[in-house]
Structure 1
Amino acid sequence: MLNINLTNQFNKTVSKTTALTSLYPNSDFKRTSVPQDKISWSVPWPDYIPVDYTAPSILKGPVWADPPIGSTDFTPRYEKDGKVECQHHNGKYDVVDRYPRNHIGCTGLKGRGLLGRWDPNHAADPIVTRWKSDRSGEIIMHPVSEKPVLQFISIKRLDCGEWAIPVGMVDPGEKLSVTLKWEFGEEALNFLQKSESVKKKKLQDKL
């Protein structure tokens, strides 16, 4: 469990600036620097040349990943495609030179990075919280803010060593509740003794 002070405010501007200029995770590729006033696609920026990067593991063509743009057997529609939900909750994609544009604006990156799909990569993040309390069940107040302290379950990522909320990708046609239970059990409870297929089948049977 980790404690978080509810009075602390996260600086979104600093976070966004860092994300747009830092190295892409697990790579030596640095995004093209994007000034705050150039993020929106509505702002003219003829000199914008984003870094084209897709991770080698994605380029190997795992079964769950889309082929590269331009592949003869790949015609993305960016709508519901069989069991795969290819629409974005913010609306339709603007497609420019066959590439779908990120809804938030310029990111300094062209390509999928570590993501498999060109359209939304649906993920499930189980968030489990509780108010910090003593052994008798009484809620403990923060000594400075005098407000309740919220605790949440987090995991330490093996790839980067950072603390994070458990997360997993939703398979095509899979119920979100199955993904949530599976990922929480795998990442937070070390539920790794049995095969993936057996565990998912048991979870599905319980729904």
Structure 2
Amino acid sequence: MACLLSHRALGRLVHRVGCPTLSPRAGCFCCPRAPTRHLRLSPADILTCPYTFQQVQEHTDQIWKFQRHDLIEEYHGRPPAPPPFILLSHLQLLVKRVVLKIPAKRHKQLKNKLEKNEEAALLSWEMYLKENYLQNRQCQLQQQPEQRIQDISSKVDAMVELLDMDRVKRSSSMEQRLASLEEQMAQTTRALQWIVATLKDSGFGSEAGVPTLAPQKAADEPDAELGSRRQAEEAGDGYHVNARHLLYPNSPVTRFPVPNEKVPWKVEFAIYDPPFYTAERKDTALMDPVGDAPEPLSRISFNTLDGPRDRRSFHGAYAVRDGLPLNPMGRTGLRGRGSLSCFGPNHALHPVVTRWRRNQDGAICRKSIKKMLEVLVVKRPLPELWALPGGSREPGEKLPQKLKQILRQESWPAVEDLLRQGVEVYKGYVDDPRNTDNAWIETVAISVHFQDHNDVELKRLNSYLHARDPGVSIRWQVVDRRIPLYANHKTILQKAAALFGAHY
């Protein structure tokens, strides 16, 4: 252990504390001719003069301030010009001191003693710096455990992902072999059925002895039974559910409560008195009248083509009461057209764009021997649910406005061609929370599937995707019945998965 002190600071301290065993001129500490500015205390000196060392240690901060003051004073006293121009500074000083006899002035900003207000300001500034440092230090200590937890979490996620990839790589070859075996067994079954039919037509054997071969669907009976049970669970009692939510979306309106048994119009419901609501929208030219007066509605022709607008329902003719159409699925607890564009059916279009889910090796991923699909979904700020791209179509438009919002304008004709080549998987009523007694949504869902991940059209579609609204998210989502989807888009997606025999 050693302490580094200046002669001047040590002399002041010894003179102040009055140590009998230590003198700044003592030979044990320094030499009068020593060229060094500082001296070093050895452990022996510390043991010899413990009292002095204790005093020095207690006044370390004060000694450091004295040294800093001397350093600053020396810095301000030096000429500002660098070598070799410092000779000019020395010449200027010589002229000022010898010729002009101008005495040297002490720097005004350097003071041996501060005033009370200056000392208070300095103390407050030091206190502020100390508190700021302690606060920052405390924040760093608090953030360290959180940062460690985040690092550990990211490492665990990376490890889980690596394990999943390893499992997929190991099981992909086995699943592919099982799928190939299943396909071969199906071909063998069809061949045996053909052989049996041929022998029977040729008169070989009797009809009583013909073996009955189980159809190909027999092996899938447990899955079919499970699927039917799931479908029954999701479908519920067959009545619309989202269209009867008490709070109407984006409005303070509350629906009249409608129990399940009172949903059909043919069931009498004497106390049924739903409120009337029609939202105000800016594009009034494309909207139907409000509907609170019968005269403007008398010019609307329901169940037919009414100019550019198609007011026909996919479920056949619907009833019209008091000049207003009735929802073919029953009561909803709200009259008017709500936030929809027109009374009666509001036709929409929902593309179901799918591709096979593949691993890093390019092989198709499987689950329960069935191939896995990925579907293109969109999420908007309201509601915060993933949904199939698409929406209501304006009269004369081929693509929905919401679909155009996520596509580049130059891609619209190409997307129209893809939809014309697609397969229709659903056409009918949509259980939407915006539906009312007099206005509802009906859609056509068209499946557009890409078999090859190197398909030129698929790459072109990915380049077309562009959300103009920063609050809109677009992604490819693995098809699974547990993903949260808007309205009854799950039913549409399930039909698309069944079309390709994929996992759902």
Give the Cα separation in 2 of the matches to 1:200 and 1:66: 31
Residue 95 of structure 1 deviates from its aligned partner by 1.1
Please give the alpha-carbon distance, in whole angstroms, between the structure 2 residues aligned to 1:48 and 1:166.
Answer: 36
Shift, 1:148, TM fit: 2.6
Aligned equivalent of 1:134: 359
Which of 13, 17, 20 is matched with 2:236 structurally? Answer: 13
State the Cα distance separating 1:16 from its structure 2 match: 3.8
Call closer, same or farther: CA 1:50–1:73 in 2, change over 3 Å: closer
Q: How does 1:89-108 map to 2 (within 5 A)?
A: 89-108=314-333
Would you say 1:172 and 2:410 are equivalent positions? no
Kindly indicate whether structure 1 or structure 2 has the higher relative contact order, using CA contacts under 8 Å at least 6 residues apart. 1
Q: Tell whether the 8 Å contact from 1:54 to 1:113 is kept in structure 2 after alignment.
A: yes
Pick the aligned partner of 1:64 from 280, 286, 290.
286
Cα pair 2:278 2:290 within 8 Å, conserved: no
Q: CA deviation at 1:53?
A: 1.5
CA drift of 1:146 comes to 4.4
Unpaired segments of 5 or more residues in structure 1? 1-5, 192-198
Measured against aligned partners, the alpha-carbon deviations of 1:67-93 in whole angstroms (never above 9, x if no partner) come to: 122364441111101221111121222
Residue range with higher mean Cα deviation, 46-55 or 12-21: 12-21
Partner of 1:203 in structure 2?
413
CA 1:146–1:27 in structure 2 vs 1: closer, same or farther (change >3 Å)?
Answer: farther
Corresponding position of 1:119: 344
1:126/1:184 contact within 8 Å kept: no
Name the SS for the 2:306 alignment partner: coil
Determine the structure 2 residue equivalent to 1:163.
Answer: 386
Distance of 1:73 and 1:42 partners within structure 2 = 28
Change (3 A) 1:68 1:202: same
Q: 2:372 aligns with which of 132, 149, 165?
A: 149
Partner letter of residue 256 of structure 2?
Answer: T
Amino acid at match of 1:138: A
Q: For residues 151-178 of structure 1, what are the alpha-carbon distances to aligned partners after superposition, in whole Å with 9 as ceiling and x for unaligned?
A: 2111111222221111232121233xxx
For residue 186 of structure 1, what is the aligned residue in structure 2? 405
Equivalence for 1:28: 252
Q: Read off the aligned partner of 1:76 and give its amino acid letter.
A: I
Secondary structure of the residue aligned to 2:351 is coil
Contact map agreement 2:404 2:412 (CA 8 A) in 1: no
Q: Is the 8 A contact 1:80 1:86 kept in 2?
A: yes
Q: What is the number of equivalent residue pairs in this alignment?
A: 184
SS at match of 2:236: helix
User: Which structure would you say has the larger Rg?
Assistant: 2
Separation (CA, whole Å) in 1 of partners of 2:350 and 2:274: 29
Q: Give the Cα–Cα distance (whole angstroms) in 1 for the partners of residues 258 and 379 of structure 2.
A: 30
SS of the aligned residue for 1:11 comes to helix
Greater per-residue helix proportion: 2
Alignment CA distance shift 1:82-1:16 (3 Å): closer
Q: How far apart, in 2, do the equivalents of 1:49 and 1:34 lie?
A: 10
When normalised by structure 1's length, the TM-score is 0.75
CA shift for structure 1 position 30? 2.2
Change (3 A) 1:202 1:162: closer
Q: Tell me which residue corresponds to 1:194.
A: none
Larger deviation: 47-56 or 65-74? 65-74
Task: Tell me the percent identity.
Answer: 34
Q: Which amino acid aligns with 1:168?
A: G
With over 3 angstroms needed to count, the CA separation of the structure-2 counterparts of 1:166 and 1:202, relative to structure 1, is closer
CA distance in structure 2 between the partners assigned to 1:22 and 1:37 by the alignment: 17
Aligned AA for 1:95?
Answer: V
> Displaced runs of 4+ in structure 1, greater than 4 A?
6-10, 71-74
Following TM superposition, by how much is the alpha carbon of 1:201 offset from its aligned partner in structure 2, in angstroms? 10
**Match for 2:381: what amino acid?**
L
